Structure 1
Amino acid sequence: MTVPATTGARPVRPVSAPDLLRTGLRADAWSTAVLGAVLLFGGERIGDPLGLPLPWSMAFGIGMLAGAVVLALIARRRPIPAGLGWTAVTVNTVCAAAMLVLAFVDVLPLTVAGKVFMVVGALVVGGFAAVYVVALRRSARSGG
């Protein structure tokens, strides 16, 4: 039996730093917009299961929709200025920290589901910040 030397698959091309940053910003914008819309327009339905008061849900939803627009606008820039990328890192990091504080300090009457929601949200937001850091560092190393 002979084993072929190649599988016929295309070689994997590493994702460029600008592509990684742009893709991360777009994914962050879309996910932020969807969650913002859910919080703004579905706040009454999810408020009780999460323990999230409607005024907070609406405020979070409006803030997230505004943030989604900003992320989408940054992602459209060609090239994306490093300063805007680092601003996205900072804002995401602060948001992740705030979500963790809200989950573990009794500022809101969150249920267990609400606390899990906040922690998972913090992990997602922190994950986007980490992707941005990787992309920005790669870009700096490559001189871009």
Structure 2
Amino acid sequence: MTTMTTFEAGPGLRTALRVDGWSTGVFGTFLLATAPLLREPLGLPTSWSVPFGVGMLGGAAALLLIARHPRLPSRLAVVVVAVNALSAILMVELAVIDLIPLTNWGRVFLFAGAAFVASFAALEFAGLRRRGPVAP
């Protein structure tokens, strides 16, 4: 039998997870609702924006569920930081490698998104480092 290490999350980490979850959900909904409208000004095909939007809604649900745990599982908190950091890196990469036919506004859009996601990774990492007592 394995045990999961949990810890008392301070208000900073829990708040960061909640705000990350809600903002991810709002932005995922925005991407889904405006997918056809974003195609021209950003160069973001609906074949990319719709799956991104759906994925963001799933991620938002996961973040909000994690934030509701009375004691946060350490592993899940680390995964959240890693996924946010990786997402930021991949958004920068997508902006520069021409895999998607982005306009200059589309590149700015992805760079801004990467900065936003990286800020959550940093806030959640800081909250993880300031965590309360750990228990198996």
Same fold (TM > 0.5): yes
- SS of aligned partner of 2:99: coil
The answer (yes or no) to whether the contact 2:20–2:63 under 8 Å persists in 1 is yes
Give the structure, 1 or 2, with the largest relative contact order (CA under 8 Å, sep 6 or more): 2
- Matching residue of 2:117: 125
Asked if the contact 2:81–2:121 (Cα under 8 Å) also holds between the matched residues in 1, the reply is yes
**SS of the counterpart of 1:109?**
coil
**Normalised by the size of structure 1, how large is the TM-score?**
0.84
| Aligned residue in 2 for 1:71 | 63
1:40-69: CA deviations, max 9, x gaps? 121011221110001101010000010000
> What secondary structure sits across from 1:103 in the alignment?
helix
Structure 1 distance, partners of 2:71, 2:133, is 13
Aligned sequence identity (%):
46
Q: 5+ unaligned residues in a row in structure 2: which ranges?
A: 1-7
CA contact (8 A) 1:18 1:80 kept: no
Give the equivalent residue in structure 2 for 1:115. Answer: 107
Q: Name the counterpart of 2:95.
A: 103
Aligned partner letter, 2:44: L
1:42 is paired with a residue of what secondary structure?
A: helix
Q: Give the superposed CA RMSD.
A: 1.3
Please state how far the C-alpha of 1:143 moved relative to its aligned partner.
3.5
Q: For the residues of structure 1 that align with 2:25 and 2:63, how far apart are their CA atoms?
A: 10
> Which residue in 2 is equivalent to 1:6?
none
Output the CA distance in 2 between the equivalents of 1:48 and 1:66: 26
Query: Shift in Å at residue 17 of structure 1?
Result: 5.3
Residue 129 (structure 2) aligns with: 137
Count of aligned pairs between the two proteins: 127
In structure 1, runs of 5+ residues without a counterpart are 1-15
| Alignment match of 2:29 (pick from 27, 37, 58) | 37
